[in-house]
Structure 1
Amino acid sequence: MIIPELEDTPPAYQFTEFIENTTTVRDDGRIDVDLDSKFGRTLSILVPHPPPYRPEPEYTPRPADWYIKLNIVIQVVGSRGDVQPFIALGNELQKHGHRVRLATHDVFEDFVRKSGLEFYPIGGDPAELMAYMIKNPGLIPSMKSLRQGDIQRKRAMVAEMLDGCWRSCVEPDMVSHAPFVAEAIIANPPSFAHLHCAEALGIPVHLMFTMPWASTRAFPHPLANLKYSSADPIIANYISYGIVEFLTWHGLGDIINKFRHSIDLEPVPATEGPGLAETLKVPFTYCWSPALVPKPADWAAHIDICGFFFRDPPSYTPPPELDAFLRAGPPPVYIGFGSIVIDDSQRMSAILLEAVQAVGVRAIISRDWSKLDGPALQNVLYLGDCPHEWLFQHVSAVVHHGGAGTTACGLLNGKPTAIVPFFGDQPFWGNMVAAAGAGPKPIPHRELDLDNLVAAIAFCLTPEAAAAAQAICEKMRAEESGVTSAVASFHANLPLEPLQCDIFINRPAAWVLKKGKRKIRLSKLAAEVLVQDMGTDPKALKSHDTCRILVENRRWDPFTSTSSAMIGTAADIVDAAAGIFIKPYEELRHPPPSPGSKNVPAPDSEKPKNNSDLDEGPSHAVHAETHHSGMHTAGAMAAASGKSIGRMFGVYVRGMLVDIPLATTEGLRSVPKLYGESIRDHGRVKGWRSGAVVAGKTFGYGMADGISGLVMDPYRGAREEGVVGMAKGVGKGAIGFGAKAGSAMVGLVAYPGQGIYKSLRAAAHAKTRKQIIAARHAEGEWLVREVQDLQRERVAAAYAELLKDS
């Protein structure tokens, strides 16, 4: 029998064939989903449907003079075009006194640091990522890609970047060694770690992106190409976002949950992973101009459109060759594809040159990452790196890949734009430009040829295209700065009161110190002064969450909740049971390096004491080492098997005493919602104490509400609908009594069990909590070095005043 190579097994795609038969990943990265198919109908049931539309008042932005100075980490995954807008955002945040760290791929370190921002490398190779995305466009891999093993490499890269994002929140600067603990996170969605890092740290998170990622009735998800005949187009648009999220989670959910385990968080349930940010109402800012895509009416107040992010134009002097070319004739057409890595760059270069000659224009061709090049021609200049902000002022039109930043820069300068999209949001921006009349319909890169490129360039040179581009330019220049609006949006969504330190009002709280009945919120600096000058015990300082993120497994009814919990428990037991045999095999295949190997020094007790030990010869040493290694491997195999047996027992006990009773309780509590009745908030279970409290509340309120419903529901029904309403009320009251009394009774077991489990888990998984505490103390010690004696005295005086009020 041949045992498969474990590290080469495919990712956890349980429904691979099912998806393959009902969805298609197109060359432009969009997903064909037939809502009339079996799979489409299933997804349309599983993903959230649009709630009744209720207009919400917009947030009133807080004043521009935001006074709490935060450590902000900006996590960005993508190309240089993805990173550049966030550099502009970071520079704007610095103007408000924030300390800003940009965490992205290692290759952008110089780019970030030269812009005046702190940098932290998260790993991942953007060139490899771009090459992968061209071959497998969009966030959803094709089945062909899965079988060829490409997706495994991307999954490994995602795992590396998730770990890098976490380290970017808690580790010192790699150049100055200045301690840093994040107090807020800004991220683009493909960085994936944002919510989970924020949950572990207890801090706010704010997402920003260049394409729609929040469900709306107005238009479908840019990565979804829906087919339907009977579905309501408005509903189809809305659920397309859930479908894309479902498929994305289907491919990466196991990696994300493994990452969560590494930072001591519980796994996200499979039903909650897709659309988690939307469920939690995480603030979202879209960085595009409302002149191009206005805000949909059904986006809530915590979702903003703030305009494109432009950095301050860099100081740039063109090289003599570029300056001479621009002066030698009419403005040229710019052609470039930025960070795109094209497989056949020679073929692409040939098409571009032929088109330029056919139209009879002068052109600047940017070599970019694909190294586009060709023979020397009088009307063509091959250009290296050059800031678009300067260059686009001197061209007649632009032809590019459709990155949001490049698109924005072209339109801001009033240049007609032809887009040749490769993946992601690029088709979306191509369609938006075409809809505005500022360019032709986008040409997918695989369809690009001489004829359609000639037609696209010719369209851009028409007076109509120039007028449309100029109209967009004027609207964009009349808007408030995108980064200014985005910073205002970020500030408006921060939890002001929990953030504020009670001593230094301009610093965020990191600790809570309980004195009497009062809980005093302290910044890292204030706490360290109290420890050093007032003798405060560091152990008395408790971590303060300025924004608590709670990932709940929402339950809809007792039947699906109980059955899903039972299935989940059974699956975990089977997985643990399989580990009894698989884990020892893994130890056998990958034994740890034995002492004495070149990578692991032998302990002193095993090193030769004198020459006589050496005289026993190499064969004796090899035999001893092999024996030692064999014994070590055998022990590791037995330990791995025993650990799996223990895990199997633990999973069984947790399922029987916690997961299944809790699912049943929550399902029963949710029954009244099925017929429009609201349910009481019984609080959150954090540990064994709160578990007992919640159990008591659930029992008391459940029994009382159930009994009162037997009387009040028929009475209300009779008052509203007479005899028919009374009959309905009797049924509703009976169902409500059964559900409420049932949840009250089962909850007496479920909630204390959940509380005990959480307490035990917190005690057993304290590594991350200790890491955060140590990092906060280290930053406090670093900050206090710069504090003058007078400031320290003020801290003592302010603290004394606070104690008077306790």
Structure 2
Amino acid sequence: MRMLLVTAGSRGDVEPFAVLARRIQGAGHAVRLALPDNSGVDVTGLDVTALGVDYSTLIQQQGVSFAAVLRSYRTVVRPAMHEVLIGSVRAALDYAPDVLVAHPKILSAPLIADGLGIPFVWVEMVPAVTPTAEFPAAGTVTRNLGPFNRLTYGAAAGGAAMFRQDLKEAARLVGAQGAAPRASATLMPISPAILQRPADWPPTVHLTGPWRGGAPEPVPREVSDFIAEGDFVYAGFGSMVAGDPVARAREVIRGIRATGARALVATGLGGLSVPSDVTGTDALVTRSVAHDVVLPRAAAAVHHGGIGTVQAATAAGTVSVVVPFIADQPFWGSRLNARGLGPAPIRRRALTSARLAAALSRVDQYRPAVRDAARSMAAEDGPAAALAVLETVGR
């Protein structure tokens, strides 16, 4: 079987696809991964093709706020999405897959499936497309709206309207003729230990568990020495370029210090920028860390609440203190708190050293539940569960 996997976005949108591609390849299937440029993900040994969009550079230049997206819609967002939508079509025409597996940002996926006469599968990284009455769509509101929760899932349909002309071009290129087909299945690489499966999801939706795997990233000597000394809190906001990263780093380090712990700070693409007035022997600053090595040793993890980091911390048995910025992050912060897996999230604009210290002082009460969740996640094999679905779809 030939499978084409297509994804778009930052590293968190790419890495799970690379893990799945390796599992598919290991099972003896042919697989190609279409992905953004310079994602930072190790794709050694995989058959890959580039979509021609560098999300890391876009994030560093534009930031991640909704206002920044609106300001740059015509000059940056629209051209980037055009490349993604048309690049996905070209990748499919070139590879001629038997099955298409696509991130929801690949709005042209149903058209590709129609034009090539093949099944396609959505990979819903966060629950924002498949409606449920149990909670609102991630990235909309965090308050439970009861029976009106289903209405929040209409927000995803707005994307198709924004890029209508690009989708018409994609349809012409691939030869799509009729109404776009429905997905044969939806895969969600999310652990049931973090998100309980809603009773009203259709049976074609599969909560597989996270897609993790591959060799651990190398750890610099200074980082390994630092974590070996114990008693530290990890802090990192990845690609969250918004607000004042210097002031934010100052509050984070001071908040960690107030608890008597040392701070391991990952600056990422600019989420944190550590000023000289808060540096010291009790604070190590690095660009990024290997979560699978660092998080199991951390007393707590202070982060933005992206699903990748949420699952990495929980699988490590480490309590998360979430400081959400955008999109699905407030959803995950609220989910963790509602399930007794972490303190209430701290809004980005409300982050102070005092609030962070107060949250960190409460992490011990959540540790037993997080360790239980970690034991449950250790028994999950998300890529295997996803592959089993794909092999059924492709028959």
TM-score by length of 1: 0.46
Determine if the alignment matches structure 1 residue 88 to structure 2 residue 11: no
**Matching residue of 2:76:** 153
Residue 113 of structure 1 and its aligned partner are, at CA, apart by 3.0
Structure number with greater Rg is 1
Q: SS at 1:207's partner residue?
A: strand
- Write the distance in 2 (CA, Å) between the matches of 1:170 and 1:258: 14
**Matching residue of 1:467:** 368
- Write the distance in 1 (CA, Å) between the matches of 2:372 and 2:131: 29
**Matching residue of 2:141:** 225
Tell me the amino acid that sits aligned with residue 146 of structure 2: P
Are the structure 2 counterparts of residues 467 and 360 from structure 1 closer, same or farther at C-alpha, using a change threshold of 3 Å? same
> Which of 42, 49, 72 is residue 120 of structure 1 equivalent to?
49
**Matching residue of 1:450:** 353
Query: What are the Cα deviations for residues 307-363 of structure 1, in whole angstroms up to 9, with x where unaligned?
Result: 1111134263x33322322233x3311101123223532222222222222222111
**Matching residue of 1:349:** 249
Residue 194 of structure 1 and its aligned partner are, at CA, apart by 1.7
- Write the distance in 2 (CA, Å) between the matches of 1:134 and 1:90: 28
**Matching residue of 1:185:** 100
- Write the distance in 2 (CA, Å) between the matches of 1:466 and 1:409: 15
Is contact 2:256–2:356 with CA below 8 Å preserved after alignment? no
Structure with bigger helix share is 1
Query: What are the Cα deviations for residues 246-286 of structure 1, in whole angstroms up to 9, with x where unaligned?
Result: 43333223332233234333587xxxxxxx67xx2531011
The answer for unaligned runs of 5 or more in structure 2 is none
**Matching residue of 2:201:** 299
Determine if the alignment matches structure 1 residue 481 to structure 2 residue 381: yes
Query: What are the Cα deviations for residues 466-493 of structure 1, in whole angstroms up to 9, with x where unaligned?
Result: 1121111122123x31111111122223
Is contact 1:81–1:339 with CA below 8 Å preserved after alignment? no
Is contact 2:65–2:326 with CA below 8 Å preserved after alignment? no
The answer for unaligned runs of 5 or more in structure 1 is 1-69, 137-141, 172-179, 269-275, 497-806
> Which of 132, 146, 149 is residue 216 of structure 1 equivalent to?
132
Q: SS at 2:163's partner residue?
A: helix
Q: SS at 1:396's partner residue?
A: coil
Q: How does 1:259-270 map to 2 (within 5 A)?
A: 259-265=170-176
**Matching residue of 1:569:** none
Is contact 1:362–1:380 with CA below 8 Å preserved after alignment? yes
Aligned pair count? 390
Is contact 1:313–1:389 with CA below 8 Å preserved after alignment? no
> Which of 334, 339, 358 is residue 239 of structure 2 equivalent to?
339
Determine if the alignment matches structure 1 residue 241 to structure 2 residue 171: no
Are the structure 2 counterparts of residues 88 and 113 from structure 1 closer, same or farther at C-alpha, using a change threshold of 3 Å? closer
**Matching residue of 1:323:** 224
Residue 93 of structure 1 and its aligned partner are, at CA, apart by 0.7
Determine if the alignment matches structure 1 residue 165 to structure 2 residue 68: no
Q: SS at 1:308's partner residue?
A: coil
- Write the distance in 1 (CA, Å) between the matches of 2:206 and 2:29: 21
TM-score by length of 2: 0.90
Are the structure 2 counterparts of residues 252 and 128 from structure 1 closer, same or farther at C-alpha, using a change threshold of 3 Å? farther
Is contact 2:135–2:146 with CA below 8 Å preserved after alignment? no
Residue 458 of structure 1 and its aligned partner are, at CA, apart by 2.2
Tell me the amino acid that sits aligned with residue 82 of structure 1: D
Tell me the amino acid that sits aligned with residue 360 of structure 2: I
Query: What are the Cα deviations for residues 82-106 of structure 1, in whole angstroms up to 9, with x where unaligned?
Result: 2111111111111211122111111
Residue 112 of structure 1 and its aligned partner are, at CA, apart by 4.1
Is contact 1:302–1:493 with CA below 8 Å preserved after alignment? no
Q: SS at 2:234's partner residue?
A: strand
Taking only aligned residues, the RMSD between alpha carbons, in angstroms, comes to: 2.5
Tell me the amino acid that sits aligned with residue 366 of structure 2: A
Is contact 1:133–1:423 with CA below 8 Å preserved after alignment? no
Query: What are the Cα deviations for residues 344-394 of structure 1, in whole angstroms up to 9, with x where unaligned?
Result: 322222222222222221110012111633333111111233321111122
**Matching residue of 2:111:** 196
Determine if the alignment matches structure 1 residue 396 to structure 2 residue 299: yes
**Matching residue of 1:257:** 168
**Matching residue of 1:738:** none
The share of aligned pairs that are identical, in percent, is 27
Residue 411 of structure 1 and its aligned partner are, at CA, apart by 0.4
- Write the distance in 2 (CA, Å) between the matches of 1:282 and 1:241: 19
Are the structure 2 counterparts of residues 95 and 226 from structure 1 closer, same or farther at C-alpha, using a change threshold of 3 Å? closer
Structure 1 runs of 4+ aligned residues shifted over 4 Å read none
Q: SS at 1:446's partner residue?
A: helix
Residue 129 of structure 1 and its aligned partner are, at CA, apart by 4.5
Q: SS at 1:491's partner residue?
A: helix
Query: What are the Cα deviations for residues 571-604 of structure 1, in whole angstroms up to 9, with x where unaligned?
Result: xxxxxxxxxxxxxxxxxxxxxxxxxxxxxxxxxx
Is contact 1:87–1:311 with CA below 8 Å preserved after alignment? no
Is contact 1:285–1:305 with CA below 8 Å preserved after alignment? yes
- Write the distance in 2 (CA, Å) between the matches of 1:122 and 1:189: 15
Is contact 2:188–2:207 with CA below 8 Å preserved after alignment? yes
Tell me the amino acid that sits aligned with residue 209 of structure 1: E
Is contact 2:131–2:153 with CA below 8 Å preserved after alignment? yes
Tell me the amino acid that sits aligned with residue 127 of structure 1: S
Query: What are the Cα deviations for residues 683-708 of structure 1, in whole angstroms up to 9, with x where unaligned?
Result: xxxxxxxxxxxxxxxxxxxxxxxxxx
Is contact 2:184–2:393 with CA below 8 Å preserved after alignment? no
Is contact 1:366–1:372 with CA below 8 Å preserved after alignment? no
